[in-house]
Structure 1
């Protein structure tokens, strides 16, 4: 990476391919280039074997059977296949669906589409910590409810929902439960023995695998039915047609295996870095607001609002850091984050939020650069702000 590049603290947007992953991918781009669907020669047989090994590696992270893993192009496609596929397959049972108003756009836009197709959707609110109420979910369930979709880890504020409690409620009411786990792999417990979900979406590029590859867990016992969304050839047991990208799949499998093996040590390391960053900021700067639960969150994320500062000016001033103001999928919008609005942040604080996400390459030196840059620029901007009193370090009433 060029030395002029800023310190990368936007791992929630994407991660670099781990060199160990890339090493395992390379042969499948050159000498081992066969189509895994070619069953008449060694090129195809080798590719199929590699695909099935990777399928087992992804399945192992959640304790699933390899045959319950369906390859997709990413979490967006997995979410579409899970939500639309289940809604259509079970439409004869009912057309009521439930999700949360802070889900990723890949989920919210999919539900919005289904509403145009005659489905009714209940959007659960979250509290000030970004968490849903199990009792509100219970009250929202109806005899014609067929699917509940709740993300494991919020992509903007890093909060972790009570997946076990939601799953138990869905089992009790015989309702399918889908989890968007794009931001959760090797960060929270996703084992299906403890969290009996029916459908779970994964992304490769959030876990140091390449972009353009994902997977969907589809429970076999009891069997979950899905209406296919991509047709042509019947690949992936008819769920998702299309020639499989062996090199991408090998990369995702290798990345998931690495993430699983390093989960405990990496989580402990990143937790220390997150605590160092948060402690340094709160000691140096008044009027900071942590967005999302302090207790129920992953250590890989800090989402912070700064009173008295215009958000765009803050983002433009942080020249030494690669951070974001929210989801990469919504970063072009001038509107305040809908996630921060949902937890009750007023527009100024919502606009002044930074999402700082840590990852495998983050070091203590990176945290020190972040502390210096953020503290320096926040102080500078507050000096210029017409709504901040630098004498008292408070907002002007």
Structure 2
């Protein structure tokens, strides 16, 4: 990120800036090549070819086949489709239950609530203190009635990476389909669907420097799944609606760049988090880092005892530093994060949690600035930084 910019953006787990390569790939389809890719005349051919090329690019990045990539509007739609599309299947007779975890994104958790209304029972697996799902726990809870297991590849709040391959093997041993919400992982860590052994995988472009409003669902060949939208025959007859050619082209270009530069980017992000953690430790401020042994690079969930995380966030914002307290999708609510509750983080630490998530544009100087500014705020005795005795969060109010 250029040092001339008036802010430091350290909330890449919420959304990422559009890659220049993505913008260049999108521009032709926002201007001259505007035709419907399903039309039969010559003007539509560039759009049709772009969709085919994007499908091939994404498939190559994931170790999939092009016809296994179905374009959607983003991660939420992909999750909804994977779960709801697995319910009304004739060949799933007798398999009436789903298994998921307590730390899933709300796109999965609330969809599970919806499928319960469709006659499916849902079991929510617990996690340990690092947010890890232990394979032996799944072995104890899964049964012959289990139709689908849905476990996220990497958590969006604390960064913990799950042992998906081992979990998928357990699911398959019981005849269940495995879905993983990989929205926070794709483009940031190596993701190969064959090696993971999953049948369904969700992803969203804006999490890996692509445009908002675009995503995909990987569906392994032969996996039973009902169409999500009725209408035309787009996406192999599985999802009706004219494709967003510009967004799809941008998504593929962004993912290609991220996959090509993944190793170098991850090393850079590790350096940024190491610098921030070192400076905070040297300051003498007590804090806890949340998450498992295997975490996403550049994502830090930090808990400061007896502090008010949201108040710290607002004061940092006044100084041009963008961080979060957790998932952006639920940031308007003030209750404790369900992820922090699931890992049994004590309330005094949970309410004092900040999430700092770096991107490739961030610099060591910016990491140092965040650490220094945070240190000054933590040392202040202003009561606004103390947690409220009620369930409401006290926000910073400038005088």
Alignment TM class, shorter chain as reference: over 0.9
Q: Partner residue of 2:180?
A: 179
**What is the rounded CA distance, in whole Å, between the counterparts of 1:386 and 1:358 in structure 2?**
26
Q: Partner residue of 1:289?
A: 288
Q: Partner residue of 1:348?
A: 348
Q: Contact 1:187–1:298 (CA<8 Å) still a contact in 2?
A: yes
What is the CA distance between 1:308 and its match in structure 2? 2.1
Q: Partner residue of 1:58?
A: 58
Q: Contact 1:159–1:292 (CA<8 Å) still a contact in 2?
A: yes
For structure 2, the residue ranges without an aligned partner over 5 or more in a row are 388-399
TM-score normalized by the length of structure 1? 0.93
**What is the rounded CA distance, in whole Å, between the counterparts of 1:384 and 1:232 in structure 2?**
54
Structure 1 segments, 4+ long, off by >3 Å, are: 1-5, 381-387
1:253 equivalent in alignment to 2:252? yes
Q: Contact 2:285–2:378 (CA<8 Å) still a contact in 1?
A: no
Q: Contact 2:311–2:384 (CA<8 Å) still a contact in 1?
A: no
Q: Partner residue of 1:376?
A: 376
Q: Contact 1:270–1:300 (CA<8 Å) still a contact in 2?
A: yes
What is the CA distance between 1:19 and its match in structure 2? 1.2
**What is the rounded CA distance, in whole Å, between the counterparts of 2:41 and 2:210 in structure 1?**
28
Q: Contact 2:59–2:65 (CA<8 Å) still a contact in 1?
A: yes
Q: Partner residue of 1:392?
A: none
Q: Partner residue of 2:212?
A: 211
What is the CA distance between 1:381 and its match in structure 2? 4.1
Give CA deviations for 1:1-34 in whole Å, capped at 9, x if unaligned: 9967421000000011111210111011111111
TM-score normalized by the length of structure 2? 0.92
What is the CA distance between 1:311 and its match in structure 2? 2.4
Instruction: Note closer, same or farther for the CA distance 1:42–1:2 as it changes in structure 2 (3 Å cut).
Output: farther
**What is the rounded CA distance, in whole Å, between the counterparts of 1:88 and 1:386 in structure 2?**
50
What is the CA distance between 1:316 and its match in structure 2? 1.9
| C-alpha RMSD of the superposition | 1.7
Q: Partner residue of 2:155?
A: 154
What is the CA distance between 1:280 and its match in structure 2? 1.2
Instruction: Note closer, same or farther for the CA distance 1:173–1:370 as it changes in structure 2 (3 Å cut).
Output: same
**Secondary structure, aligned partner of 1:98:** strand
Q: Partner residue of 2:228?
A: 229
Question: Aligned ranges for residues 1-397 of structure 1 at < 5 Å?
Answer: 5-38=6-39, 40-89=40-89, 91-220=92-221, 223-293=222-292, 295-318=293-316, 319-320=318-319, 321-381=321-381
**Secondary structure, aligned partner of 1:205:** helix
Give CA deviations for 1:212-254 in whole Å, capped at 9, x if unaligned: 000000000xx10111221111211122110001000000010
Q: Partner residue of 1:395?
A: none
**What is the rounded CA distance, in whole Å, between the counterparts of 1:126 and 1:225 in structure 2?**
29
Give CA deviations for 1:293-332 in whole Å, capped at 9, x if unaligned: 2x21012200000012122321222123100000001101
How many residues get paired? 383
**Secondary structure, aligned partner of 2:124:** strand
For structure 1, the residue ranges without an aligned partner over 5 or more in a row are 388-397
**What is the rounded CA distance, in whole Å, between the counterparts of 2:385 and 2:187 in structure 1?**
41
**What is the rounded CA distance, in whole Å, between the counterparts of 1:161 and 1:47 in structure 2?**
37
